[in-house]
Amino acid sequence: MDLKLDPSRDDLPLMANTSHMLVRHYVLDLDVDFESHIIEGTIVLFFEDGKQVKKQTSSTKETCQLESSEACKLRTPEPCHIPVTNVRTLSSKMGYNDFAICDKGEKDTSDKDGNHDNLEQASGLCSSQYCCDTGDHGREGFLLVLDCCDLSVSKVEEVDVAAVPGIEKFTRSPKLSVISEELRNEVVGELVTLPADRWREQLDYYARCSQAPGCGELFFDTDTWSLQIRKTGALTASEFPHAIRIWYKTKPEGRSVSWTSDQSGRPCVYTVGSPINNRALFPCQEPPVAMSTWQATVRAAASFVVLMSGENSAKPAQLREGGSSWHYYVTMPMPASTFTIAVGCWTEIKSEMDLVTEWPFPSSEANFRCAGVCGHTEYPCRFQDASATAQEVIPHRVFAPVCLRDVCQETLVPLIPPCLSAAHSVLGTHPFSRLDILIVPANFPSLGMASPHIIFLSQSTLTGMNHLCGTRLCHEIAHAWFGLAIGAQDWTEEWLSEGFATHLEDVFWTKAQQLTPHEAQEQQELRACLRWRRLQDELRSSPEEMQVLRPSKEKTGQVSDSGASVVKHGLNPEKIFMQVHYLKGYFLLRFLAKRLGNETYFSFLRKFVHMFHGQLILSQDFLQMLLESTPEEKRLELSVENIFQDWLESSGMPKPLQSERQAESECGLARQVSAEVTKWIRVNRRPRKRRRRQENEVFEKLLPDQLVLLLEHLLEQKTLNPQTLQSLQKTYHLQEQDAEVRHRWCELVVKHRHSRAYGHVERFLQEDQAMGVYLYGELMVSEDARQQQLARRCFELARAQMDGPSAEVVAQMLF
Q: Taking residues 781-809, what's their average pLDDT?
A: 90
Confidence of residue 16 (pLDDT cuts 50, 70, 90): very high
CB neighbours of residue 442 within 10 Å: 20
Q: Is the pLDDT of residue 255 over 50?
A: yes
What's the rounded Cα separation, in Å, for the pair 494 and 568? 11
Confidence of residue 5 (pLDDT cuts 50, 70, 90): very low
DSSP label of 18: T
Q: Percent of the chain, pLDDT > 70?
A: 84
Q: Could you tell me if 614 and 487 are in contact, meaning their C-beta atoms sit under 8 angstroms apart?
A: no
Collapsed DSSP state (helix, strand, coil) of residue 528: helix
Confidence of residue 774 (pLDDT cuts 50, 70, 90): confident
Helical segments of 686-784, H only? 688-691, 704-715, 722-732, 739-751, 758-767, 769-781
User: For residue 685, what are the contacts with CB-CB under 8 A and spacing of at least 6?
Assistant: none
Q: Could you tell me if 81 and 65 are in contact, meaning their C-beta atoms sit under 8 angstroms apart?
A: no
Write the CA distances from 22 to 189, 290, 572, 584, 616, integer angstroms: 12, 6, 28, 34, 15
Nearest CA to 284 out of 328, 206, 229 is that of 229
Write the CA distances from 229 to 136, 302, 746, integer angstroms: 15, 36, 53
Domains and CATH numbers, the chain: 13-56+74-255+280-285 (no CATH), 489-663 (1.10.390.10), 668-814 (1.25.40.320)
What's the rounded Cα separation, in Å, for the pair 780 and 392? 49
620-668 per-position pLDDT tens digit: 999 999 999 988 888 878 999 999 999 999 999 999 999 999 888 889 9
pLDDT of 77 reads: 31
Nearest CA to 764 out of 784, 748, 752 is that of 748
Largest CA distance in the chain: 102
Confidence of residue 96 (pLDDT cuts 50, 70, 90): very low
What's the rounded Cα separation, in Å, for the pair 777 and 790? 12
Nearest CA to 775 out of 810, 728, 732 is that of 810
**CA quadruple 398, 400, 405, 406: dihedral positive or negative?**
negative
Collapsed DSSP state (helix, strand, coil) of residue 640: helix
**Strand segments (E) across 459-526:** 486-488
What's the rounded Cα separation, in Å, for the pair 235 and 230? 9
3 state SS for 575-588:
HHHCCHHHHHHHHH
pLDDT of 468 reads: 97
User: For residue 78, what are the contacts with CB-CB under 8 A and spacing of at least 6?
Assistant: 201
Q: Taking residues 418-434, what's their average pLDDT?
A: 97
User: For residue 605, what are the contacts with CB-CB under 8 A and spacing of at least 6?
Assistant: 426, 427
Peptide bond into 333 cis (omega under 30): no
User: For residue 584, what are the contacts with CB-CB under 8 A and spacing of at least 6?
Assistant: 495, 499, 535, 547, 549, 647, 654
pLDDT of 118 reads: 30
Angle at 610 between CA 607 and CA 612, to 5 degrees: 105
Write the CA distances from 654 to 338, 545, 710, integer angstroms: 31, 15, 26
Residue 588 has, within 13 A of its CA and on its CB side, a CA count of 30
* Average pLDDT value over all residues in the chain: 85
pLDDT of 123 reads: 28
Name all contacts of 696-704 with Cβ < 8 Å and 24+ positions apart. 699/731, 700/672, 700/675, 700/676, 702/672, 702/673, 702/676, 702/732, 703/467, 703/523, 703/526, 703/669, 704/464, 704/465, 704/467, 704/468, 704/737, 704/738, 704/740, 704/741
What's the rounded Cα separation, in Å, for the pair 618 and 495? 10
Instruction: Fill in the amino acid letter for 15.
Output: M
What's the rounded Cα separation, in Å, for the pair 168 and 652? 61
DSSP label of 412: I
pLDDT of 575 reads: 82
pLDDT of 350 reads: 87
Report the run of H or E that residue 499 belongs to, with start and end.
Answer: helix 495-512
Angle formed by the axes of helices 769-781 and 804-814, to 10°? 10
Which residues are the active-site residues?
Answer: 476
What's the rounded Cα separation, in Å, for the pair 12 and 287? 11
What's the rounded Cα separation, in Å, for the pair 781 and 775? 10
Number of H helices, E strands in the chain: 26, 26
Q: Is the pLDDT of residue 182 over 90?
A: no
pLDDT of 339 reads: 97
Confidence of residue 177 (pLDDT cuts 50, 70, 90): low
Q: Percent of the chain, pLDDT > 90?
A: 72
Q: Taking residues 344-349, what's their average pLDDT?
A: 97
**Lowest model confidence (mean pLDDT) among 112-121, 400-409, 464-473, 700-709:** 112-121
Residues 227, 228, 234, 235: what is their CA dihedral angle, to the nearest 10 degrees? 140
Confidence of residue 688 (pLDDT cuts 50, 70, 90): low
Q: Taking residues 47-62, what's their average pLDDT?
A: 59
The bridge status of strand 226-230 relative to strand 21-33 is unpaired
What's the rounded Cα separation, in Å, for the pair 782 and 18? 50
702-761 per-position pLDDT tens digit: 999 999 999 999 999 999 999 999 999 999 999 999 999 999 999 999 999 999 999 999
Angle formed by the axes of helices 580-596 and 598-612, to 10°? 120
DSSP label of 418: H
What's the rounded Cα separation, in Å, for the pair 512 and 471? 10
Q: Could you tell me if 96 and 204 are in contact, meaning their C-beta atoms sit under 8 angstroms apart?
A: yes
pLDDT of 112 reads: 37
What's the rounded Cα separation, in Å, for the pair 381 and 435? 17
CB-based burial, 181-198: b 16+ in 10 Å, e otherwise: bebbbbbbbebbbbebbb
Nearest CA to 308 out of 32, 19, 613, 681 is that of 32
Q: Taking residues 252-279, what's their average pLDDT?
A: 93
268-326 per-position pLDDT tens digit: 999 988 888 999 999 999 999 999 999 999 999 999 999 999 999 999 999 988 899 99
669-686 per-position pLDDT tens digit: 999 999 999 999 999 998
Q: Is the pLDDT of residue 359 over 50?
A: no
Name all contacts of 120-123 with Cβ < 8 Å and 24+ positions apart. 123/217
What's the rounded Cα separation, in Å, for the pair 298 and 307? 10
Residue with more model confidence, 93 or 51: 51
N residues, the chain: 815
